[in-house]
Amino acid sequence: MNASDLQVFKVVANEGGMTKAAQVLNTVQSNITARIRILEEELRVPLFYRDKKGVKLTSAGERLIPYAEKIQELLAEAKEIVSQTEVPQGALRIGSPETTAALRLSNILSDYGKKHSDVDLSLVTGTSEFLVENVLNRNLEGAFVSSPVSDSLLTSFPVFQEEMVFYIPKTAKDPFSFLRNQKAKVYVFCTGCSYRRRLEKILTEQNITQVKMMEMGSFDGILACVGAGLGVTLLPKAFSEEKTWKARWSSNIAVYGLKKSEAVVPTVFVRRKDTFLSPALKSFMEMIEK
């Protein structure tokens, strides 16, 4: 068994058939079939169930898949390491929550792009939970996430600190009485968002548990609902300091502050401890640590 055998096995599993795998690997089907048969004979277990529709992994095949993927990742990393120069170049995949991307990253990404034009920097947005998972799975070299992050495979350092506040209709005295008396809704991002977890904790401490959580996909959508008097939300105070705030939202939405222990949410940059620290990633980390 060698790395090329595992690559063939992985492609067959991904494509669900020998014919499709042969097309992907630009070879003939008989070659794929023979390689899989030899691999099964060496391991002494069937890796696929076969029928007219294609193939499906056996339990043994399912156990082999993670090792095939890991070997391919290690080979790709080895190729990257030996071909790297000290000059930042190549692909760099970074993750960030949408709030952090909107409030904190525009200047950083712009400055980095100007300084390191040979780096193909891509930004993936999502919840902190989603981003941590993708860092662990090596789909991202690193990500901005809300702390704390507790995983022995990860290392992190602080980058930003957000002060969270409630955004409430101008007609409301405070978010808590408004939610209790008006049967208003709470507007949030999807499950896995660290701000949502912070909001749920605050409401629980206020004995507000019977409240409808309305998931929205954008800041504009959330603030439009709050401005219409339909509910409240919890977001960084920095939004109310943006230039567009006064023109768009300040006439209908008020900002309600919290005590420091509830309001402060640190943002850290996280990566795997065993990830190769490429010149592109190293220079990015040096920029955000300043």
Angle between helical axes of 3-15 and 29-43 (0-180°, round to 10): 110
Architecture per CATH, domain 3-83, reads as Orthogonal Bundle (1.10)
| Token pair for 222 | 């959330």
- The confidence score (pLDDT) of residue 84 equals 62
- The confidence score (pLDDT) of residue 189 equals 81
- The confidence score (pLDDT) of residue 192 equals 66
Listed in order, the ranges of the chain carrying CATH 3.40.190.10 are 90-161+266-289, 162-264
70-111 pLDDT per residue, tens: 888 888 777 766 666 677 888 899 999 988 998 899 999 999
Per CATH, the homologous superfamily of domain 162-264 is Periplasmic binding protein-like II (3.40.190.10)
Q: Which residues of the chain have pLDDT under 70?
A: 80-85, 192, 290
- The confidence score (pLDDT) of residue 163 equals 92
- The confidence score (pLDDT) of residue 102 equals 87
| Token pair for 102 | 């909107």
Instruction: State pTM to two decimals.
Output: 0.67
Is 90-161+266-289 a CATH 3.40.190.10 domain?
yes
- The confidence score (pLDDT) of residue 146 equals 87
- The confidence score (pLDDT) of residue 193 equals 78
